[in-house]
């Protein structure tokens, strides 16, 4: 639970900015994963690492029964506020508080790479999935296909030591996520990639959305707001449009679907 506690503190510091600005950038990934798993009326779905409930709202709109789980209390509070008819719990993805086979689909978008133990997390996803159900995991694709990589590289260069756990691309290498599924005893059925452009009306919005993420919250006390803001202004310069907007693309995300 130590890792979950740390993640809760980091991701909960600016929960509303994350949920309002940055989280919706993942919508193309969510929709691709939901389409690939044929989510519809009656589907019992667990959204692992649900954040502010953005994906959960899409699930509910399809008539499915959604339960969300996240380590960050601040994000769960926001999810409960925007989706009062769904169930949301604070918890750790390596120790899910649900019975075996409780869900038809276990869905984890942009969350597994932040688990303290990736294999344990995947095994837990498999445990709570009904026999012959589906498990869908999405995360950043190969770094060379992710323009937002420039932002992560900027903050990494400012740190005295690398971020613990491998960072956001920890499971993005060729076959790495698929290999973990196999180790967890789960049969991979399909995988694909989808582009998620990150667009912001101005730098102020980019700053609020980006620094709401856990990895950025972890380095703010180390490098200081003024220094980080200056570095990020330089990093986003290639993505600035003439009218002040910032458009960071392409950002390839990958997802894998496996049988429970």
pLDDT tens-digit readout, 93-150: 999 999 999 999 999 999 999 898 999 999 999 999 999 999 999 999 999 999 999 9
Give the lowest-confidence range in 28-42, 142-156, 160-174.
160-174
Topology of domain 2-146+165-197+252-259, CATH = Rossmann fold (3.40.50)
Question: For the range 234-242, what are the long-range contacts, defined as Cβ-Cβ under 8 Å and sequence gap of 24 or more?
Answer: 234/154, 235/150, 235/151, 235/153, 235/154, 236/151, 236/203, 236/206, 238/150, 239/147
pTM for the model stands at: 0.92
How would residue 159 be classed by pLDDT, with cut points 50, 70 and 90? Answer: confident
What whole-number percentage of the chain has pLDDT above 70?
A: 92
pLDDT tens track for 70-83: 999 999 999 999 99
Per-residue confidence (pLDDT) for residue 1, from 0 to 100: 46
How would residue 6 be classed by pLDDT, with cut points 50, 70 and 90? Answer: very low
């Amino acid at each position: 639970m130590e890792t979950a506690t740390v993640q809760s503190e980091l991701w909960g510091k600016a929960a509303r900015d994350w949920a309002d600005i940055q989280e919706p950038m993942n919508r193309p990934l969510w929709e691709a994963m939901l389409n690939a798993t044929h989510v519809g009326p009656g589907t019992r779905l667990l959204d692992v690492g649900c954040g502010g409930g953005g994906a959960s709202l899409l699930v509910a709109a399809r008539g499915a029964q959604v339960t969300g789980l996240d380590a960050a209390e601040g994000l769960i509070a926001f999810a409960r506020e925007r989706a009062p008819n769904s169930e949301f719990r604070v918890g750790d993805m390596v120790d899910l508080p649900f019975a075996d086979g409780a869900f038809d689909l276990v869905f984890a978008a942009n969350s597994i790479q932040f688990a303290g133990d990736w294999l344990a997390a995947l095994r837990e996803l498999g445990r709570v999935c009904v026999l012959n159900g589906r498990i869908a995991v999405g995360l950043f694709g190969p770094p060379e296909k992710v323009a937002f990589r420039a932002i992560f590289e900027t903050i990494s260069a400012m740190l005295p030591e690398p971020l613990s756990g491998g960072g956001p691309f920890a499971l993005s290498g060729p076959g790495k996520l698929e290999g973990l599924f196999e180790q967890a005893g789960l049969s991979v059925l399909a995988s694909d990639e989808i582009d998620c452009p990150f667009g912001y009306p101005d730098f102020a919005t980019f700053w609020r959305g980006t620094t709401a993420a856990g990895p950025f919250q972890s380095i703010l006390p180390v490098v200081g707001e003024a220094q980080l803001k200056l570095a990020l202004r330089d990093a986003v310069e290639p993505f600035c449009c003439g009218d002040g907007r910032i458009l960071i693309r392409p950002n390839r995300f990958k997802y894998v679907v496996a049988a429970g």
